Structure 1
Amino acid sequence: MLVVQGLVVQGGWVPGTDRPGRLALWAERSTALYEAKRREHPFAEPAESLAELLGEAVDQAAFETLTLHLPGTSKGPVPSPETGSEAPARGVRLREWAVPALLIPGDAALAALAQLAEPDPDAAWQPAASLRYLGILATHAYDLALRGRMLPQLVVEGGVPAARWRPVITGADAAGYRDFAAAMPPVVRATGAEIGRTLRDALHSLVDGAARALLPERILHGHRTGPRGPLPDRWIAALTDPDPALPGARPDDVRELGTALGDWLRAALDANGPIRVSFRLSEPGPETDEWGLEFALQSAEDPSLYLPAAEVWEGGRFPGLPQRPDETLLAGLGRAVRLFPLLHLSLREQQPDRMTLDTSEAHEFLRQAAPLLQAAGFGVQLPTWAGRKAVGLKLTTRSKKASPSRAAASSGFGLEQLVDFRIDLVIGDGVVTAEELAELARLKVPLVRVRGQWVELDDRQLKAALKAVDRRREGSVTAGEVLQQVIDGGEDDLPLVEVDADGELGDLLSGQAAERLTPLATPAGFLGTLRPYQERGLSWLHFLARLGLGGILADDMGLGKTAQTLSLLLAERSAGEEVKPTLLVCPMSLVSNWQKEAARFAPGLRVYVHHGAERRRVDISDDADLVVTTYGTATRDLAVLREVDWGRVVCDEAQAIKNSGTRQAQAVRAIPARTRLALTGTPVENHLAELWSIMDFCNPGLLGPAKRFRRRFQEPIEVRQDADAAAALKRATGPFVLRRLKTDKTIISDLPEKNEMKVWCTLTGEQATLYQAVVEDMMAAIDGSEGIQRRGNVLAAMTKLKQVCNHPVHLLKDGSRLPGRSGKLARLEELAAEIIEDGDKALIFTQYAEWGTLLQPYLTAHVDRPVLWLHGGLSKARRDEMVTRFQEDDEPMLFLLSLKAAGTGLNLTAANHVVHFDRWWNPAVEDQATDRAFRIGQSRNVQVRKFICTGTLEEKIDAMIERKKALASSVVGTGEDWITDLNTDQLRELFALDPAAVR
């Protein structure tokens, strides 16, 4: 049990009667005060101080005292398990307690849970299991909305009709719903409502909030001023409006529309087919005003299975179509009429297959119907320009021509240098004049062809553009101000869409400075020759440093980030200027690597390792050009390191600071230096917030606060795949990120091939029996648990099943014999013998140190050759000795490595075989481990084998990863925790043993 020191924040849901439900937050201190005799909760945190602690996440909260049903005795309430306090053995029953709470409206609950439900180990408070449960439920609601598993409805709240979105729970989602009901912590429903009502009310509010977050803004901006227009039109508009209420509607109209929508929802709940009706909008030809809207049937699971309606009527088919596809098409079109009333014109035809729209009707479809249809589960295909902001800004800068005297005095380009600038308005792909803009605004045509290209003209953008015409649009500013304008990306309604700059500023802003700058030659004192792409990397690093800017060198693993960094230090010193020392922070496993690489490539650099019990506490930079320390030491010695006048701070394996809230990220960021450099082969592993964290280390404050970055970039890109936001992020970060890949033959052409293969292993009879027993035992435990305990049971089950797949001894730990009892071990024995016989060397990775300890002596005896074993318990000297022996000894051998201890940083190019004996199921982690051998210096093809036991969870999870390759970093990038969110039926299917798995 995780014991929380400090404040534990609970989450509950208060279902509404005549209004939407509300999220309730209350907190308790970790010390129970049983002496209290009053009925008020004696150790609940005051709502005012809780609101101050939680900050902006609870801006919309109201203070209220709730009566909660919580376990307690006659002396006082029982503290939460997370506080670590022991509950009384007797006399505990549910009692009513008055608790000060924060009540957050249902439409704001989704955003609040996104910020509050994830634990932060460095925060002064921690979410309890109840709050984490609601966070998972919010994620599920967002997923339902993202997949279109919702429909619009008309409900009555407080006597007023309102437009709301409701989830459509069918198929696998129904099983998940039951699982959520079974797993609900009692605190969530402590207000006294039963489980079903609490879950239903919470999911309704969260799905409605998710739908409004995902759908685009309404076409009509501003406040509504009363009951104008027919109810269906007002209802459609209110589905994307922050205010869903429809006051003043006639009761008969409300009853008629509500009944029709209710029938639609019931029909959707009864439907189980994976086939949906789809709409494709095509723009008119050069001389016409006729838009085409094609109808079709499409597979919801595989959108490439697409059958136009014309072919449906001709009898066309694809796999999975119902017996009567024509009826499916007509029924779908009939439901879609409610969201796009113009469709009724096509339904007059006997065999509707498409309809023609004029430009105003096409705009109505684009802005209103299309997002609603998509959210309701229909397929929608639009022109590529649809949905993008049409009006933007173009920034043009030109270097000022210097006078001869000024040119002679100039020391080169700097951020203080003045440049001429001009800002133009852009529509589509072309610049427009103020006169053209005024004419477009006068015509009030929302969809218009500008210079042969169709664009949507948003009324709010046009008004912002007309105001921008009157502002200063040209003059002189510093290069630094231009850089900040590019990063800021324009204005809310007028994004910066194009930058045209010349000179070195243009090189920087292009994001291609490494290619544009004149490459620096290999500096004096560097023993070796930099490759051409490394010389370009050196010139880029030197260029940024000269400007006082930080950067991210994100070259693929093995392309020589270390060599480029060392050459930068030498280049700066060879210029004869006084250079302040560099602090390099890295994982402990890389300290020796930096020592050896510096001695090998840059022996003239004075290197001091600040690590270990004997490290100096003062004057650590005396007589040192490069000080190497670890993240842990930097955190502990922060006060000492902050006193040094550093020229640069470098973070190697900078994914270590990807979570900005961790102590080590905050510590490294707090060390002052003129410039900063991050080295990482994986700048984004899971979420864009990691890129913000690393960028904020390199150039503090340049991307703005995390909240603004999340609103401006992270949410639009990750949730809505917004191409404009992605382009703006690339424009803002491109100048500071240099990434080259080994697979790019223009970068490096002499690196051999990496051949990856899966090695399928079968279980022995003993393994199969053990596997089945573990499944039955652990599923019983999972069924009987909830919340954090359930997650722990799922992870424990996975660990045990993976141990069985490795070897029975790994699970039983009984010290019995190894041979003949494991399909994986038998395959490894064969493979190891082949590798040794061929005179080769191999790396064998396992994530379990205990298994490696058993395997090492067994393999040594089996191959009669050295088998080295590197794990986290070794001293630095012993690790270095092993690496040196493996790299320099000509004898064929095996190197057994713990994945966590040796997955990054080491250079082990003597190996041309890599074996992953058991899987971590994180492609990025496995690739990092493989690249210990597949990197510069490798002259032979590298054979990579991943062992998988057929018919087990290993095969099934591997298949899931293959299906989700495009989302691997966000779905499975965190290792195995994502599996704990599967419902019980999905886990049972995942863990089940296929009879064909046994040999």
Structure 2
Amino acid sequence: MLVLHGVWAGDGVALWAEDSGAVPGGPGPDPSAHPFAVTAAALRAAAAAVDAPGAAAAAERWLRLRLPATAGRPLPSPELGGGPAEGSAELREWRAPALVVRAPDAVRLLAALDGAVAAGPVPGPGLRHLAAVRRFAGRLASAGRLLPVPVDGGPPRWRPVLTGVDARHAAGLVAALRAVGRAHVAADADGRAGRLVFEALGALLDADVRARLGPLAGRLDRAVPAADRDSGRGRRLRDWYRQAHRPRERARLVVRLREPEPADEPGAAEAWRVEFWVRSGDDPSLQLPLRELWLGSGAAWLPDDVEETVLRELHRAARHYPAVRGALRDLAPDGIGMGTGGAYAFVRDVAPRLASAGFDVVLPHWAAGGSALGLKLTVRERPAAGGGSGIGAEELVDFSFEAVLGDTVLDVTELAELARLKQPLARLRGRWVRADPAHLRAALDFLRRRGRGRARREEAVRMAVAAEAAPGLPVAEVDADGELGALLSGAAERRLAPMRTPDGFDGTLRPYQERGAAWLRFLGGLGLGAILADDMGLGKTVQLLAVLADERAERTPGPTLLVCPVSLVGNWQREAAKFTPKLRVHVHHGPDRPHGNALARLLGETDLVVTTYGVVLRDAGELAAMPWHRVVCDEAQAVKNSDARQTRAVRALPAEARIALTGTPVENDLDELWSIMEFANPGLLGPAAAFRRGIADRVERDADSPDGRAGAALLRRLTGPFILRRVKTDRSIISDLPEKQEMRTWCTLTPEQAQLYKATVDDMTERLGDAEGMRRKGLVLATMARLKQICNHPAQFLGDGSALAGRSGKLDRLEGLLAEALAQGDRALCFTQYTAFGDRLAPYLAARLGREVLWLHGGTPRPRREEMMRRFQEADEPMVFLLSLKAAGTGLNLTAANHVVHIDRWWNPAVEDQATDRAFRIGQRRDVQVRKLICVGTLEERVDEMIERKRALAGSVVGTGEEWLTELSTADLREVLRLAPEAVAG
């Protein structure tokens, strides 16, 4: 990470920067040089990243900075993880390269920083403070609170007039200036802050005003000699400026739809009218109908040219609403008359076009929100036979539907009358309503067919959360009582009494685990499936075991089948033995597992059966014939591919209740969420194709559009009652977990890497000329894989077993990071996706670091795997653990590490997050530093930027992995894969 600092240097903003990846060496030729400061060339690149005007031509300068230091080195800024200066810290002078951006360009630079994207350099506190000063200067210039001040031998300078609230704001800016913003001045601290702030404010205000005046600023400077600039002339010049920069827009056209008055005679035509009004550009509350304007009625706020303005605007409106042309034939146009059909067309088609063109459109309140016809579902629980609680999926509930229009409930008679009229606009109970005639007929037909009845609990839930009860008829409101009401209102998790630590459970549940276990028990009692999507490390295993112990304290409901990856079988055995020693556990795995009658007899004496996805696939028919009380999928992303044979086999297992445990319910796209939900609650989201077409495409296509936001809200409503997700960074959930600091560490290529990289891209470009279809996709993906290997190390790409030392910028940076961590007595996890590279990397790092490097991959036997985990956790010395990303993404607790390094990026951030959570989980006592090594100027940097823009969907969706790259044009591909000049060291 790069932090961009800024200080006011008298005539402009002096920029300097710190790099989080910098590893200072010993004393150099200039011991006062700041060891973390970047070079002037790197500084220009950082400024270019935020489109800083004038950065290319900015003068270079060496700044002298007084900064806190300890042990002969400056403390990193807080943005780089530096803490407050400790007792041993002292102020010391350092020199750093800087670029000075003059005041006119500085105004635009600071404005650009306000809109900078997160992927760019991080602005430091001094630069953020200067941006606040720039905003204040802009407000003063807009309000005309300024005066020109004479300057000997030069043009006047515009300076602020600070009184009242402006003076208090300026004093606040002085108080807010932190030490780093005045570190380059060698005066006393009290006076320095005020002088710096007012110098910067005056210079930025002058530059802002001159930019607004344009060429006129120079003419004014020449026209008013310095000797004649007395206070009277200055005030007159200020008054001229205020008058010249008053808002130009003194009047605006308003288009307003007026409802007709009730007709005197039944059946008379309704007279709707679009009226033209004019309103003040400064005060929107001042409005006047054009009818009165043409009659000579006016007001003080109307400008002299108001008639010309509104006629010009009416002609512009006619381009979007042709009916205005007819009104313009009148001498005094004031509106357009129409019938009910015309009014509906205006609301549906014309009003959106006029609003998009910049006109003010005023609609009745019923029209602004669109059609609101929907259904209200009422569900009432029936008393259980014998006075019991009635909890269970088999219990019946009473349900009824009613039509609702906005906030009005319609009876069948009213609905039938509206449907008979076949009008999109109609009067109902004395007011106008809007509803599609086809939807009215559909609602009437639905209520006559299925207006009320009885249903099982799970069927009632599906009706309540369905997107539509019938085509075009959403379930707009649900009124349910009892447990169903708590579930459907979203209040179940809050209202449920937390599960107290049950008998037979050896341990203490945290408060959020008590609530999670109670929620699992609650949904299971309703016969509904649950997705427990807590972050990795929050204890999903413990919550499930607590539920099993709790229900077996009262009765023996039957066996629970738990399906998990083979790497987690031993973990479930150990956790069950630790927390629920009375639970009867059977591991159904291996060649000696029982079958047929032997398995059936065993289930009668077992509470929990632990098996693997592979066994379920092989023994699908036999396991589907067993009487399971509950089926649980751990690491449920294993069933994210709905068409896979493994997924179909798991979904075919019958059970009274189902639970999916996963820290990442969505890894790549929303089809995965559908697949997991289809396991937990079959049929809830409808068929996969309809879900993709109706919801997923809307959300993934443009999450920030109104349609995308509406789709996301609908999806949350459909799935919300069945998904419980808590994250480790939520302090209301868990307050004793330390911080996680994620950062990118930039690496450069060696000349050998750069040569191989360029040759590979050139080869791909040449071969793409005649490649199409799958051949083209295969070529692109193969090239990507080669480039990623080159970024790691030439020897990995060449596969020739050649030496590793001195040939890879990324490997050099990795060595430096690990050496620093070991020197501090820390332990580190390193993840790579390449097993063959790890085989060479582990002994190389061990030799370079002088310590054993543990190496775990998919081929590591389970006993060896568990021995390495134990050694790493229990060692009392610094250690490095190298792990294969795929083999170590789940089932490992490695909280002894407080450093995590991702050597090569996996383009799915959810997979990286799972790996990071091997260290960042319950039991971790120290802050965890997570570094992702990225070769600057290469494919790694460009794809990283694109992935960061795709993280918004469900917190971790990145489209469809790498497939999107294969669809780019050849020119786009070359741009993505090209080698930037800054990528090569030296």
Q: Establish whether TM, by shorter chain, passes 0.5.
A: yes
Residue 925 (structure 1) aligns with = 911
Residue 596 (structure 1) aligns with = 574
Structure-to-structure mapping, 1:483-882, within 5 angstroms: 483-488=461-466, 489-575=468-554, 577-618=555-596, 619-620=598-599, 621-622=602-603, 623-715=605-697, 717-718=699-700, 721=707, 726-882=712-868
Determine the C-alpha separation between the residues in 1 that align with 2:464 and 2:528: 15
1:946 to 912, 917, 932: 932
Check if 1:996 corresponds to 2:982: yes
TM superposition shift of 1:831: 0.9
Check if 1:364 corresponds to 2:345: yes
Helix, strand or coil at the partner of 1:492: coil
Equivalent pair of 1:386/1:456 in contact (CA under 8 Å): no
TM superposition shift of 1:716: 5.2
TM superposition shift of 1:857: 0.8
Equivalent pair of 2:950/2:959 in contact (CA under 8 Å): no
Determine the C-alpha separation between the residues in 1 that align with 2:328 and 2:391: 67
Return closer, same or farther for 1:660/1:339 CA change in 2, 3 Å cut-off.
farther
Equivalent pair of 1:685/1:969 in contact (CA under 8 Å): no
Instruction: Give the structure-1-normalised TM-score.
Output: 0.61
TM superposition shift of 1:969: 7.8
Equivalent pair of 1:555/1:738 in contact (CA under 8 Å): yes
Determine the C-alpha separation between the residues in 1 that align with 2:932 and 2:444: 61
Determine the C-alpha separation between the residues in 2 that align with 1:978 and 1:412: 51
Equivalent pair of 2:392/2:457 in contact (CA under 8 Å): yes
- Identical amino acids, percent of aligned pairs: 59
Equivalent pair of 1:611/1:630 in contact (CA under 8 Å): yes
Structure-to-structure mapping, 1:180-199, within 5 angstroms: none
Return closer, same or farther for 1:904/1:455 CA change in 2, 3 Å cut-off.
farther
Equivalent pair of 2:258/2:275 in contact (CA under 8 Å): no
Structure-to-structure mapping, 1:469-484, within 5 angstroms: 473=451, 479-484=457-462
Residue 393 (structure 1) aligns with = 375
Equivalent pair of 2:587/2:610 in contact (CA under 8 Å): yes
Equivalent pair of 2:373/2:405 in contact (CA under 8 Å): yes
TM superposition shift of 1:763: 1.2
Return closer, same or farther for 1:292/1:761 CA change in 2, 3 Å cut-off.
farther
Return closer, same or farther for 1:649/1:473 CA change in 2, 3 Å cut-off.
closer
Helix, strand or coil at the partner of 2:581: coil
Equivalent pair of 2:257/2:362 in contact (CA under 8 Å): no
Helix, strand or coil at the partner of 2:663: coil
Helix, strand or coil at the partner of 1:902: coil
Residue 127 (structure 1) aligns with = none
Check if 1:888 corresponds to 2:874: yes
Equivalent pair of 2:446/2:470 in contact (CA under 8 Å): no
Task: State which drifts further: 983-992 or 679-688.
Answer: 679-688
Equivalent pair of 1:291/1:359 in contact (CA under 8 Å): no
After superposition, give the CA deviation of every residue in 1:653-710 in whole Å (9 maximum; x if it has no partner). Answer: 1111112211100111222333221111222333333233222222334444334444
Equivalent pair of 1:525/1:604 in contact (CA under 8 Å): yes
Determine the C-alpha separation between the residues in 1 that align with 2:275 and 2:646: 57
Equivalent pair of 1:924/1:973 in contact (CA under 8 Å): no
Return closer, same or farther for 1:291/1:563 CA change in 2, 3 Å cut-off.
farther
Check if 1:425 corresponds to 2:403: yes
Equivalent pair of 1:554/1:683 in contact (CA under 8 Å): yes
Equivalent pair of 1:509/1:731 in contact (CA under 8 Å): no
Determine the C-alpha separation between the residues in 2 that align with 1:291 and 1:823: 69
TM superposition shift of 1:885: 1.9
TM superposition shift of 1:340: 5.7
Return closer, same or farther for 1:481/1:612 CA change in 2, 3 Å cut-off.
closer
Structure-to-structure mapping, 1:254-293, within 5 angstroms: none
Structure whose CA Rg is larger: 2
Equivalent pair of 2:533/2:724 in contact (CA under 8 Å): yes
Residue 164 (structure 1) aligns with = none
Helix, strand or coil at the partner of 2:664: coil
Return closer, same or farther for 1:791/1:362 CA change in 2, 3 Å cut-off.
farther
TM superposition shift of 1:986: 0.8
CA RMSD of aligned residues (A): 4.3
TM superposition shift of 1:928: 1.7
Equivalent pair of 2:273/2:336 in contact (CA under 8 Å): no
TM superposition shift of 1:466: 4.3
TM superposition shift of 1:534: 1.2
Determine the C-alpha separation between the residues in 1 that align with 2:922 and 2:432: 49
After superposition, give the CA deviation of every residue in 1:586-625 in whole Å (9 maximum; x if it has no partner). Answer: 1222222222222222222233323334444453445543
Determine the C-alpha separation between the residues in 2 that align with 1:356 and 1:426: 31
Helix, strand or coil at the partner of 2:919: coil
After superposition, give the CA deviation of every residue in 1:99-133 in whole Å (9 maximum; x if it has no partner). Answer: xxxxxxxxxxxxxxxxxxxxxxxxxxxxxxxxxxx
- Gaps in structure 1 of 5+ consecutive residues: 1-278, 295-329
Counting matched residue pairs gives 678
Determine the C-alpha separation between the residues in 2 that align with 1:959 and 1:881: 39
Determine the C-alpha separation between the residues in 1 that align with 2:635 and 2:367: 39
Return closer, same or farther for 1:434/1:334 CA change in 2, 3 Å cut-off.
same
TM superposition shift of 1:749: 2.3
Determine the C-alpha separation between the residues in 2 that align with 1:984 and 1:686: 25
Determine the C-alpha separation between the residues in 1 that align with 2:258 and 2:731: 42
TM superposition shift of 1:744: 2.7
Return closer, same or farther for 1:776/1:529 CA change in 2, 3 Å cut-off.
same
Return closer, same or farther for 1:904/1:940 CA change in 2, 3 Å cut-off.
same
Which one-letter code corresponds to 2:620 in the other structure?
L
TM superposition shift of 1:505: 1.9
Return closer, same or farther for 1:836/1:344 CA change in 2, 3 Å cut-off.
farther
Which one-letter code corresponds to 1:525 in the other structure?
G
Determine the C-alpha separation between the residues in 1 that align with 2:537 and 2:401: 43
Equivalent pair of 1:395/1:423 in contact (CA under 8 Å): yes
Equivalent pair of 2:909/2:956 in contact (CA under 8 Å): no
Determine the C-alpha separation between the residues in 1 that align with 2:956 and 2:693: 18
Return closer, same or farther for 1:681/1:341 CA change in 2, 3 Å cut-off.
farther
Equivalent pair of 1:293/1:357 in contact (CA under 8 Å): no
Helix, strand or coil at the partner of 2:478: strand
Which one-letter code corresponds to 1:860 in the other structure?
A
Determine the C-alpha separation between the residues in 2 that align with 1:548 and 1:463: 35
Residue 247 (structure 1) aligns with = none
Equivalent pair of 1:654/1:680 in contact (CA under 8 Å): yes
Equivalent pair of 1:922/1:972 in contact (CA under 8 Å): yes
Equivalent pair of 2:458/2:527 in contact (CA under 8 Å): no
Which one-letter code corresponds to 1:567 in the other structure?
A
Task: State which drifts further: 445-454 or 626-635.
Answer: 445-454
After superposition, give the CA deviation of every residue in 1:306-356 in whole Å (9 maximum; x if it has no partner). Answer: xxxxxxxxxxxxxxxxxxxxxxxx9x999998986457679999xx9x999
Return closer, same or farther for 1:993/1:535 CA change in 2, 3 Å cut-off.
same
Which one-letter code corresponds to 1:646 in the other structure?
W
Instruction: Give the structure-2-normalised TM-score.
Output: 0.62
Equivalent pair of 1:291/1:358 in contact (CA under 8 Å): no
Determine the C-alpha separation between the residues in 1 that align with 2:327 and 2:822: 73
TM superposition shift of 1:499: 0.5
Check if 1:975 corresponds to 2:961: yes
